Amino acid sequence: MKKLRVCHLSTVHSAFDVRIFHKQCRALSAAGYAVDLVARCDGDNDAHGVRIHGLPAAGSRFARMTATIWKAFRVAVKLDARIYHFHDAELIVVGLLLKLLGKTVIYDVHEDVPSAIVNRTWIPRLLRFPFALCCRIAEGIGAVFFDAVITATRAIAGKFPQHKTSVVQNYPILHELVQPNQTPYQERPSHIAYVGGITQVRGIREMVQALSLVPTERDIRFVVAGAFEPAGLLREIKNISGWERVDFVGWKSRPDVSRLLDTCRAGLLLFHAVPNHIDAQPNKLFEYMSAGIPVVVSDFPLWREIVAGAQCGLLVDPLDTRAIAEAVTWIIEHPAEAEEMGRRGRHAVRDKYNWSLESHKLLDVYKRLTDDVG
């Protein structure tokens, strides 16, 4: 029997994005779908049963939002898939065009994009609210016509029609970030980690400044993996007190992240309290938990529910550098209690916060859509 062809689209994310490729596309391929992925990549590729159609890196955001989107649409049309599943708000117009061509279309909402736009530093301040409003309107129009909306959190789902919206949360793949022969927790150096996009509102300044308040005799090192945005932020942060205790290692592959976390005693996630963060469920929070290390995170109500509920870390005001320093110092000075926190976090991921459970929700959406169209 010929496999049903589905096509995922993104102009913002790389082809090997964790949610798009490693979770959704691979789950669909394993379930028997013929899966195409149109996304940023150096050339075409085949991996884990997924055919990747590479989009060239755009020279600017304007080029990405014009020429790259048009190229993605043309490639998508040629593939003639049964279901199109796109992952970026800037592709809403592509989704609408595909609907006009009679295709089944899914909009996957990773974040509250209009709220995020308000904090985009690259957008002139006076234009942020109008852009956010336009995005909200575009999402509302799209939701009327698209066949399904998938959101990464329950909070985002509340902004879309209930009857066509499903929540597929961005929980980690079990055991992906666990080394086969883990380094015993209390034998690890006094390293703490941050992994992910590095921006002002994700707390990089406060995390680095907090290091200057940690007792020097503790010899704590802060390992930072990811990319600074904008790039000039790196030069700025290098000049503040605390940077001398930072090991910036740049972007890391998934296996490298696993090895990095195996050398650390805690994971930091200290996002500022902006609208797009308060109800977010960052993948990195659950990845730290899955790796078996305690977390130090922003004290938001939802994050408190997760972290305090699992008793797997400490919650602090993300703008209070002294509180951050005290939390990090406590973890280093109480290795037995910290190790137990990490163990409880891993058990919470095993029992509740994992992709194995979420993937069934994704497959249910696809089954419903294919049953509806016959």
Q: Are residues 32 and 121 in the same domain?
A: yes
Structure token pair of residue 35: 């899966």
Residue 193 and residue 292 in contact, taking contact as beta carbons nearer than 8 Å: no
Q: What is the pLDDT of residue 1?
A: 58
pTM to 2 decimal places: 0.89
Is 179 inside any structural domain?
Answer: no
Task: Find residue 9's DSSP bridge partners.
Answer: 38, 86
Same domain, 85 and 43: yes
Three-state DSSP class for residue 14: strand
Nearest to residue 155, comparing CAs of 111, 116, 117? 111
Specify whether 230 is located in the same domain as 311: yes
143 and 15 share one domain:
yes
Residue 246 lies in a domain: yes
Residue 302 within any structural domain of the chain: yes
Structure-token pair, residue 14 = 């790389």
What distance, in Å, lies between the first and last C-alpha atoms of the chain?
A: 15
Residue 206 and residue 318 in one domain: yes
Give the sign of the dihedral formed by CA 49, CA 51, CA 54, CA 55. negative
Q: Are residues 51 and 118 in the same domain?
A: yes
Q: Is residue 81 part of a domain?
A: yes
10-residue averages of pLDDT along the chain (374 residues)? 91 94 97 97 94 92 92 97 97 98 97 88 87 94 97 95 96 91 95 96 97 89 95 94 97 94 98 91 94 97 96 98 97 97 97 96 96 66
Q: How many angstroms separate the CA atoms of 293 and 327, rounded?
A: 14
Domains identified in the chain, total number: 2
Judged on CB neighbours under 10 Å (0-12, 13-18, 19+), 184 is exposed
CA distance 28 to 150: 15
Position 317 scores a pLDDT of 98
User: Do residue 265 and residue 126 come from a single domain?
Assistant: no
**Which 3-state string (H, E, C) describes 169-208?**
CCCCCCCCCCCCCCCCHHHCCCEEEEECCECCCCCHHHHH
Task: Judge if 200 and 124 occupy the same domain.
Answer: no
Please state, in angstroms and rounded to a whole number, the distance separating the CA atoms of residues 100 and 281.
34
What domain range includes position 322?
185-351
Which residue shows structure tokens 């589905």?
A: 6
Tokens (6 digits) for 248: 């910036």
3-class secondary structure, 145: helix
What CATH number does the domain containing 95 carry?
Answer: 3.40.50.2000
Asked if residue 178 belongs to a domain, the reply is no
Same domain, 131 and 98: yes
| Nearest partner of 353 among 296, 291, 297, judged by Cα | 291
> Is residue 165 domain-shared with residue 239, that is, in the same domain?
no
**Which pLDDT belongs to residue 111?**
92
* pLDDT at res. 39: 97
Rg over CA atoms, the chain: 21
305/360 same-domain check: no
Regarding whether 166 and 17 lie in a shared domain, the answer is yes
In this structure, what token pair is assigned to residue 165? 């919206």
65-68-69-74 Cα dihedral, nearest 10 degrees: 160
Amino acid 58: pLDDT: 86
